[in-house]
Amino acid sequence: MLVADNVVKAFATDAGNAPALRGVSLGIAAGEFVCIVGRSGSGKSTLLNVLSSLLTPDAGQVLYQGRDVAALSARERDRLRATDFSMVFQMHHLLPYLTAFENVLAPFLSTIRPVSADKRRKALECLDRVGLADKAERLPGRLSGGEQQRVAIARALVTEPRLIFADEPTGSLDGDTGRHIISTLGGLVTEGISVVMVTHEPAYAAMADRVVEIADGLIRGEARTDARNTGV
């Protein structure tokens, strides 16, 4: 479904051009949960941002459903990101003065039209999906860190994406809460959604279908886990 083919990406710095990705090839299948691991600075976030088309590769290609994403117009790319891709970040980025429910609706609030009853129903469904239907009317400040991140996952789900990209979604959470977040993300793939997650926590990585290790801008190793066979 999503393929990175020999992707190269460098950033301009004071010290010159610093390579972040030096030729990375990776395929993500529909309904697959892939975890990207590696040390800080190894290129994980850059790879995720290239895969999600936030960044354009300097060389190589990212193909989504067989189409070169860089060859799309900016408008087509924006539309693709809005309809097919969703992001979950390390910090949940919830709006503090909106309730959990309103935060989940936020992807629809930029339009001048009122939000339809259908979308409101969908938002409640997504909150229910992450176990928070009973806290829909709470402000983020009255939710725990793990609950806030689950609201962010519900918000990522509300647009019915094909792919969810998550960059260290457990970064600020303790172990048990983190595992709960990962299993929530992992549960989405049973609905055919693909999840690509960055983490540096090996215990979390083991909960994915496949672990890709990146070091110094290159894929160092890949392993298939049996997480789903064991029912995790």
Question: Binding of ligand ADP at residue 202 (CB under 6 A)?
Answer: no
- Check residue 11 for interaction with ligand ADP (CB under 6 A): yes
Q: What is the DSSP string of the chain?
A: -EEEEEEEEEEEETTEEEEEEEEEEEEE-TT-EEEEE--TTSSHHHHHHHHTTSS--SEEEEEETTEEGGGS-HHHHHHHHHHTEEEE-SS----TTS-HHHHHHGGGTTSSSPPPHHHHHHHHHHHHHTT-GGGTT--GGGS-HHHHHHHHHHHHHTT--SEEEEESTTTTS-HHHHHHHHHHHHHHGGGT-EEEEE-S-HHHHTTSSEEEEEETTEEEEEEE--TTTTT-
Query: How far is the C-alpha of 91 from the C-alpha of 80, rounded, in Å?
Result: 24
Choice between 45 and 184, CB closer to ligand ADP: 45
Q: How far is the CB of 213 from Mg ion (least distance, A)?
A: 14
**Does position 18 bind ligand ADP by CB under 6 A?**
yes
- Applying CB under 6 A, which of residues 17, 40, 229, 230 lies at the interface with ligand ADP? 40
Binding track, positions 32-71, relative to Mg ion; x by CB under 5 A: -------------x--------------------------
Stretch of 43-51, 97-105, 126-134, 176-184 contacting ligand ADP, by CB under 6 A: 43-51
CB of 38 vs Mg ion, minimal distance in Å: 9
Q: Is-contact 103 95, C-beta < 8 A?
A: yes
Asked if residue 41 binds ligand ADP (CB under 6 A), the reply is yes
Closer residue to Mg ion in complex, CB, 41/131: 41
148 binds, among ligand ADP, Mg ion, none (CB under 5 to 8 A by kind): none
Q: Is 170 in the site for Mg ion (CB under 5 A)?
A: no
Q: Does 17 bind ligand ADP (CB under 6 A)?
A: no
**Residues near ligand ADP (CB under 6 A), total:** 12
Residue number with CB closer to ligand ADP (41 or 192)? 41
